[in-house]
Amino acid sequence: MLNFYNYELKEKAKEYIEEIKNLSKTLNNESQNFIKTLFEPEKRKYYSYGYADVLVEQISEKLKTKKDVKLNDIFPESLYPALKLLMGEKFFKIFMAISKNITKVPFSSGYSRRMIRSKSYFNYIYLLFLLLTKFTDLYFLDIDVIKILKKDYNYKDLYNIENSPHYIAYEIDNGNQEVIDLIKSALSSQKSEIDLTYSIMEAIFISNNKELLELTGKLLLAAKLQEGVRQQICENMDRGIQENFEYIFKIIYDSDLIRFSSVKRALGTWTGLARDENTDITKFGKKELEIINKLIANPKYEDELLKSDDNVEVYLGLWNKAARDIRDSVEAMEKLLKSSKYHIKL
């Protein structure tokens, strides 16, 4: 948050932070404390790339024993003045709209991610603060979604600024036709104004726009020898809402795309069967695909899988529960540990 490599921006950000501190003195006590904690440099960790990590740790510690954490537990109305000061009215509205729907997408990220969701906002604290950081930076830099898509900003060394899938998805779902048209062009034309980035692909899977999803499916089928395109689609399909994952999965299943290495690698990532980049992906194939296809058709099939002596079948049964709510998967694991055979426990 407000932490840049560019020297000019770094100096402007320092002045801006001092301005925020001064303006926060007129806010309620809760908002004042939030801003104070956010920008206390002595509390920042040596590994931090920004300020928000301190608040993430404090809020996580405070809420770790609460059974069902709500968004209001993390960002109560008493903090709204602080949030509006940080990101402005427009981005505050967008931030809150995204946050309210955040549990529809997985909370795990990175190469070692799993396609797991949670009804408790506790598991989304880190992601929520990443969004807070993003919108604070965008407000400071005066960058909107069109500038992000077109990479139309003055500073070319901005780290990760284009990685804004939730913001792009918000604009898609709220009918921003310019955004939709730019993405449609990128999906169907080689002479597009914008590049089809991983962030845009992730935004499509987060959004509820069926037209863009269908165009993505057509692009997947048209990829042929374009392994990079196939990889871009398949490696992002688990990052959004469940319905979109199932739509693209059906295309993969019906068209036997598991024969491609990029799809095998993606399958290992969605499920967590690929523990790291050195995992032998050649062992993934039709067996796993058949199981997932049956789970999509009949979610209750997961309970049959949990009775199996086959480790992969048990694992995918747990995975399917976690894709709905990690708590369901944990409860099932606890039962397995009490009654299952030794090799299943391992």
For 38-56, the pLDDT digits (tens) are 997 655 554 444 678 889 9
pLDDT at residue 49 in the model: 47
pLDDT at residue 324 in the model: 95
For the purposes of burial, counting CB atoms within 10 Å of the CB of 47, is it exposed (0-12), middle (13-18) or buried (19 or more)? exposed
pLDDT at residue 339 in the model: 77
Question: What is the residue type of 271?
Answer: T
| Verdict on whether the full-model pTM lies above 0.85 | yes
pLDDT at residue 340 in the model: 62
What is the domain partition of the chain in residue ranges?
Answer: 1-142
pLDDT at residue 45 in the model: 54
pLDDT at residue 199 in the model: 96
d(CA 272, CA 276): 9
Helices vs. strands in the chain: H and E counts, helices first: 19, 0
Contacts of 210 (CB under 8 A, 6+ apart): none
Q: How many residues does the chain have?
A: 346
Contacts of 240 (CB under 8 A, 6+ apart): 105, 169, 202, 204, 205, 206, 207
All residue ranges of the chain with pLDDT < 50 are 46-49
pLDDT at residue 273 in the model: 84
pLDDT tens figures, 229-238: 999 999 999 9
